[in-house]
Chain A
Amino acid sequence: MNPLATRSAAPDRPLAIGLLLGVSGWAAGLFVLFFVVLLFRPDSAGQAALSGAILLAAAWALFMAAREGEPVFVAQLALALSIAGQCLALYAMTKGSHGIAPVAGAALALQSALALAMPNRLHRTLTTLFATIAWALTLRFALFGEPGYTTRGDAVHAASLAAALGGWLLAWGPVAAALWWAARKESGWVSGGWETLTRPIVDGLIVGLAVATLASQPFESFGWFGDGGADAGNLALWPLLSALGALGALAAAFALRRSGLMVLCAVAAPLHVAHFYYALGTSLLVKSLLMLAMGAASLAAARFLRSKEPA
């Protein structure tokens, strides 16, 4: 048994119940954060770091206590404490830094460490998902500039088609590769005693590749603040790549027999296509031709596959 592996509290928990616990745990965590901030007022980085460390340590201890059997209450309390602790720790790590990229980078380091350290399935899935979001944001703003430091759209307009495609692949290629590896080597990590560590992380990567690709362009396309979308230039192609990413995640979920996640991926793909519709930077006519060509190619490939099936 590897040292990071833990007994899974609820290996057969349906996605919907996990979602119920995850969302309510997150919301409870935010209220715990307000409570701690109002009560102790940790204004400096040091105070925030201390408060965050105490909350994270308490969460870890509760998760360890909740490993045996099914003490859902303890695990849910630990999740809420961890969320509050993460927010305070991130505040301590990034107080004084400017821009989104450093904050996202710190979040990536924090979430990656917690995905390994916290002995809980749901927590590992959530931290992995947030790590993928942080990774995408870090790369996005490190490669193509920060909003506010350039005129919105100027920096991304400078991105060539090759840079746009390369940037997306750099962000999401490693996630896809990790899923491919996990699906290929599943029997190895299951028999090696790594399942309780690897399975929730793989779940988080599947959800990340399906939906968190939106984090690669958080400000373009949608009028988040009511002033319409910014011109995304060549990055307008990213939602289309995200739709393909969701289909890739769907294949990974199929390979790993995660039926609930397959539904999530199947819902995510058309939402990315809707995002593609609104992404400014490429004309609707070009988008239309792209979609028609992809549709024809996919149907032809499906027909080819059917023709290869034994009668």
Chain B
Amino acid sequence: MNASTSQRYDPRPTPAEWRAFEGRLLHAAGLGSLGAGVIFFVAANWQAWGLAGRFGLLQAGLLVSVAAALWQPPPARVGQGALLLATLFTGALLALFGQSYQTGADLYELFLTWSLLALPFAVAALSGAVWAVWWVVLDVGLGLFCGGLSHDRIFWFVPGDWGRDHAAWLMLPCLANLLGAGLFLAIRRTRFADAAPPWLARFLLTIGLGYGTAASLPEMGDHGPAVFALYTAISIGIAVATLARRQDVFPLTALAGSWLVISTTWLAHSMHREDVGEVFIIAAWLIGSSTTAAMLLMRCLRAWRVPAAAEVAR
């Protein structure tokens, strides 16, 4: 059996691997369910418990979580799970406070305050999952603040007030997420590498490029050209850094997707929509550009795999 064949037909997971997988899956699902249950409970605004009872319950939950993390500190699994719950309890307490006292604060203030208060838990947890939750909280806050998300719709993924002069504002979450991705890539070279799994940097890169893509679309406001130039420079920087590292094609793939969206949107924007030929040109551009991108990416992938495999063999 040659090397490529053995790579394609890996053996099935062993019973030990299955046990480890099931344990991790149940642990993650259990923590997620408990956290969601707490948030649902606060949102239910159950009057039978009274205000003091609800505050007491959440504060007790927060204290128990912190105590558990102190008892078995990270990287122990119990400590990491406890700090994940502590992060969620913090948000639930803030939400209950806003719900009960009608502070008049905007929704983005809740999320940004939550991210600030939960930052120590994220740092202490040494866990990619806790960092991911923390970044989601921060991103929702930044998205609401910068107008990238709409707070008056149930389905938050629907773009909010894009189209006003929000291009420059959208670059704030873009830069925050890209800096975060860079930070976690740097952490991977330290003894805290376990707290910065590769998927976390990819996750932040994808969100950052998503915001940058949105900011670079046509008619995004008075600062459109400057924002476009900034995003172009950022993209070139990421591409050069990725090509220099020769390890992971994902950043180039995400960049290709981003610029495919931007270029196609600009192309469609510059055309008269009733022309049959122009519709064909857009289709041809999509096919040609995506094909070229995929071929170049696969070439990089194959070229970079060989040294990586040799490194592993050494």
Binding site for B on A (CB under 8 A): 10-14, 16-17, 19-21, 23-25, 27-29, 31-32, 34-35, 38-39, 70, 72-73, 76-77, 80, 186-187, 190, 222-224, 226, 228-229, 247, 250-251, 254-255, 257, 263, 269-270, 273, 277-278, 283-285, 287-302, 305-306, 308-309
A35 touches B27 (CB 8 A): no
Q: Cβ of B40 and Cβ of A291 under 8 Å apart?
A: yes
Chain A residues near B39 (CB-CB < 8 A): 277
The answer to whether B34 and A296 touch across the interface, beta carbons within 8 angstroms, is: yes
8 closest pairs, A vs B, by CB? Answer: A298-B30, A295-B33, A291-B37, A295-B34, A299-B30, A292-B37, A284-B44, A24-B290
Give the nearest-CB partner of B281 in chain A.
A31
- Complex contact B44–A283 (CB within 8 A): yes
Given contact pairs A34-B279, A35-B280, a sample of 9 additional A-B residue pairs in the complex whose CB atoms are under 8 Å apart = A14-B249, A17-B297, A20-B293, A24-B286, A255-B13, A263-B199, A269-B29, A295-B37, A297-B30
Query: Are A273 and B301 closer than 8 Å at their CB atoms?
Result: no
B287 partner, pick from A16, A80, A293, beta carbons under 8 A: A80
**Which residues of the other chain, A, contact B249 by a CB distance below 8 angstroms?**
14, 16-17
Q: Which of A17, A20, A190, A289 contacts B37 (CB 8 A)?
A: A289
Indicate which residue in B8, B46, B260, B301 contacts A285 across the interface (CB closer than 8 Å).
B46
Question: Does B109 have its Cβ within 8 Å of any Cβ on chain A?
Answer: no
B100 at the interface (CB under 8 A from A): no
Chain B interface bracket (under 10, 10 to 19, 20 to 34, 35 or more): 35 or more
Q: In the complex, what distance in Å separates the CA atom of A270 from the CA atom of B39?
A: 13
Judge whether B276 is part of the interface by a CB distance below 8 angstroms: yes
B10 touches A10 (CB 8 A): no
Q: State whether A70 and B298 are in contact (beta carbons under 8 Å apart), knowing that A284-B44, A301-B26 are contacts in the complex.
A: yes
For residue B12, CB closer than 8 A to chain A, the reply is yes
Question: What would be 5 A-B contacts, judged by CB atoms less than 8 Å apart?
Answer: A13-B298, A270-B32, A277-B39, A299-B34, A305-B26
Q: B192 on the interface (CB 8 Å rule)? A: no
What separation, in Å, do the CA atoms of A73 and B32 have in the docked complex?
43
B154 interface hit (Cβ, 8 Å):
yes
Interface membership of chain B positions 25-56, coded 1 if the CB is closer than 8 angstroms to chain A and 0 otherwise: 11101111111111111011110000000000
Majority-rule SS of B interface residues: helix
Closest to B277 in A: A35
Q: Is the CB of B290 within 8 A of A298?
A: no
Measured in the bound complex, the distance between the Cα atoms of B298 and A83 in whole Å is: 24
Name the residue in B12, B36, B279 with the highest tally of chain A Cβ atoms < 10 Å from its Cβ. Answer: B36
**What 1/0 mask marks residues of chain B from 281 to 313 whose CB sits below 8 Å from any chain A CB?**
011001111110111011001000000000000
Is B21 among interface residues, defined by CB-CB distance under 8 A? yes
Check B295–A72 contact: CB distance below 8 A. yes
Select the residue from B33, B41, B45 with max chain A CB neighbours within 10 A: B33
B257 engages A20 (CB within 8 Å): yes
Is B225 on the interface with A (CB-CB < 8 A)? no
CB-based contact B25/A16 at 8 Å: no
Contact at A14–B199, with CB atoms within 8 Å? no
Complex Cα distance, B276 from A39, in Å, reads 7
CA–CA, A263 to B128, complex, Å?
A: 13
Q: Report chain A residues within 8 Å CB of B287.
A: 24-25, 28, 73, 76-77, 80
B253: chain A residues at CB < 8 Å are 14, 16-17, 20
Does B19 lie at the interface of the complex (its beta carbon under 8 Å from any beta carbon of A)? yes
> Contact at A273–B32, with CB atoms within 8 Å?
yes
B283/A80 in contact, CB under 8 A: yes
Residues on B with C-beta less than 8 A from A12 are 7-8, 301
